[in-house]
Amino acid sequence: MPATVTQKRPAPSFAFVVRSDPRLENRAQASSPTPPVDVVEDAAGWRLIFEIPGADSRRLAIEIRGRLVQVRGEKRPTELGSGRFVRLERDAGTFERSIELEGDPDPDGALAELSEGLLTLTLPRRSRTIRRTIPIQKGSVKPNDGGRS
């Protein structure tokens, strides 16, 4: 039986090359962050979960106009301290995200919470049933004229 010779090739070596990016000198030129969002709908309403790591609640604003929910804010860049960035991947800057819901939310019942980089906005559905009491007036309708006075 002939012998089989298997030649093993050395594993390729990977070099990580760090290049300076001129955009990093002025963070304002970097891309604007757009936070991803999950929208959960149930019988009670909606829960919108925005991923905004590094955001400060004082730099966020939520506006509800009809079926449109708009979140605006700013993510600040990493504080450098000393040294220089050799790799910078985290988004920073102002952002705006709008979501149109498929129903009417009740902005008066909205709740928002920012925790561990997630902004959770809970919106109940607007109640469609409006209860009204209708007063009955005496003598306003005559039976012989079909309701016309």
**Region for 139 from its dihedrals, namely left if φ exceeds 0, alpha if ψ lies in -120 to 50, beta otherwise:** left
- pLDDT tens for each residue of 125-134: 988 766 778 8
Q: CA–CA separation, 26 vs 92, rounded Å? A: 12
Q: What is the mean pLDDT of the chain?
A: 77
Asked if 135 and 57 count as a contact pair (C-beta separation under 8 A), the reply is no
Reported confidence tier of residue 122, pLDDT bands at 50, 70, 90: very high
- pLDDT tens for each residue of 7-50: 555 544 433 333 434 444 444 444 557 899 999 999 999 999 99
Phi/psi for 108 (5° steps) reads: -70, -25
Asked if 116 and 126 count as a contact pair (C-beta separation under 8 A), the reply is no
At 60 the pLDDT is: 95
Q: Give the number of other Cβ atoms within 10 Å of residue 76's Cβ.
A: 12
Asked if 107 and 64 count as a contact pair (C-beta separation under 8 A), the reply is yes
Taken in order of first residue, the domains within the chain and their CATH numbers are 28-78+89-127 (2.60.40.790)
Rg of the chain over all Cα atoms, to the nearest angstrom: 30
| CB contact set of 117 (below 8 Å; sequence gap of 6+) | 51, 52, 53, 54, 55
Q: Which of 102, 34, 94, 98 is nearest to 63 (CA)?
A: 98
At 78 the pLDDT is: 76
